[in-house]
Structure 1
Amino acid sequence: MLKLSDATAVLLAGGKSSRMGSDKGLVEFRKKPMASHILEVLKTLFSNIILISNNDSYKDSGYQVFPDSITDKGPAGGIVSAIEHANSEWIFVVACDMPFITMEAILKLYDAKNDSEICLPLTKDGIEPLCGFYHSSIHKKLVELIHSDILKMELIVKKFNLKLVEFDYAEKLFLNFNTRADLEAWKEYGS
């Protein structure tokens, strides 16, 4: 398969995971770390993959790992770091707790990203800001928003030329896990 040469895939694994009790990406899901499921999909599409994490446990992943360049600012700080370390026009951002993401969903977003600065999925549950394409040109404005204490990703993305792509079949595609109970409820689903 032809790789997406103008984009770098970025696995965001920098969260505190306080409700989960440990790093979400390293939590076992279907016999391997949750992040491994996502990385398997990413490596089919992207030549360049980096991880954004403040956890040294990812150093053995086989991928370059960078910390948040603006600390304690949530996913927005991770996206700033991703843009700074990716050598590409676009970055595809995905949270480390979305093990059901598919190659087809990523390609649908990739094909729709033109004429936008950010391209994200829209489901019946709303916008999913931690699974989409971000253009590198947003860096300066994103840093300014963070320094103005605008940290909610749902608010941040609306400050840019945002394209939303409808996913009406997304029952579990963008599902993320916040607690051990969430994880247990889905462990056997679709296996």
Structure 2
Amino acid sequence: MLDNCVILAGGKSSRMGKDKTLMSFHNEPSLTHYIHKKLSKIFQNVYISSKFNKFNPPLNVINDEISDIFSPMIALASILPKFNAPVFITTADMPFIKISSILELAKYKDEYDVVIASDDEFRHTLCGFYSPTLANKAKFLAQNNQHKIGTLIQNANIKIVNFDDKKQFFNINTPHEYESALDENF
């Protein structure tokens, strides 16, 4: 079993028009609960990164230290100092990530500062393992209003693992994408 995972669920959900992390999904109270349950099968500890604990039933939340800015960099700056080993980072709106893909990424987590997933189209910087050695840099970038994850990892020792199945990295951002993801034939 792997150690720690944090699911990012503190975004604005502006394209959805409401907080997508709280929308019900496949017999679970929320999209966040769905992915939490899925990842709890392979991680000893599954945390949620958010501005506050908005989940019912409650989940184990790591609060963003800067609450008025919505940014994955803020989340990483809040998360990474809390760990002393690589932590798997993913998002609440990526429910189809395969367990086998996470286990493949995990093979490299102790050799690199960052191990992220990729497909033939995109690098998925919010689907991978991050070393706590990046905590100070993440905090510096967040405090200096630099929010691109690419800036955090540009000089890091990084491993990019390519996967053929890009459907597993599908992000739910709009009402149409949510409806598509609910389809059993997705």
Both structures adopt the same fold (TM-score exceeding 0.5): yes
Q: Check conservation: 1:37, 1:99, Cα contact below 8 A.
A: yes
Q: Alpha carbons of 1:88 and 1:42: their partners in 2 closer, same or farther (altered >3 Å)?
A: farther
Q: Distance in 1 between matches of 2:170 and 2:185?
A: 13
CA RMSD of aligned residues (A): 1.8
Q: Does 1:29 align with 2:29?
A: no
- Contact residue 73 and residue 141 of structure 2 kept, 8 A: no
Aligned to 2:71: 74
Give the distance between the partners of 2:80 and 2:151, measured in 1 at CA. 19
Change (3 A) 1:19 1:55: farther
Instruction: Determine the C-alpha separation between the residues in 1 that align with 2:52 and 2:185.
Output: 30
Name the SS for the 2:169 alignment partner. coil
Query: Residue deviations 1:83-138, cap 9 Å, x none?
Result: 233x4411111101011012111101001223210100011221101111000111
List aligned pairs for 1:94-133, cutoff 5 A.
94-133=90-129
Distance (whole Å) between structure 2 residues aligned to residue 49 and residue 186 of structure 1: 23
- 1:130–1:168 CA distance, 2 compared to 1 (3 A): same
Aligned to 1:89: 85
Alignment-derived partner of residue 184 in structure 1? 179
User: Identity, % of aligned pairs?
Assistant: 30
Q: Does the aligned pair in 1 maintain the 2:10–2:70 contact within 8 Å?
A: no
Q: State TM-score, norm by structure 1.
A: 0.87
Q: Give the conservation status (yes or no) of the 8 Å contact 1:8–1:88.
A: no
Q: Distance in 2 between matches of 1:116 and 1:182?
A: 33
Following the alignment from structure 2 to structure 1, what is the Cα–Cα distance between the partners of residues 150 and 172? 18
Q: CA deviation at 1:190?
A: 3.2
TM-score by length of 2: 0.89
Within 1, Cα distance between the matches of 2:106 and 2:153?
Answer: 17
Deviation string for 1:148-168 (max 9, x for gaps)? 332122333223221100112
Aligned pairs for 1:138-149 (under 5 A) are: 138-149=134-145
Question: Cα deviations across residues 40-78 of structure 1 (Å, max 9, x unaligned)?
Answer: 2211111112111114322633x3212111331501111
Q: Which runs of 4+ in 1 moved over 6 A?
A: none
Equivalent residue number for residue 166 of structure 1: 162
C-alpha contact (below 8 Å) 1:8/1:49 kept by paired residues:
yes
> Unmatched 5+ residue regions in structure 1?
none
- d(CA) in 2 for partners of 1:23, 1:55: 13
- C-alpha displacement of 1:30: 2.6
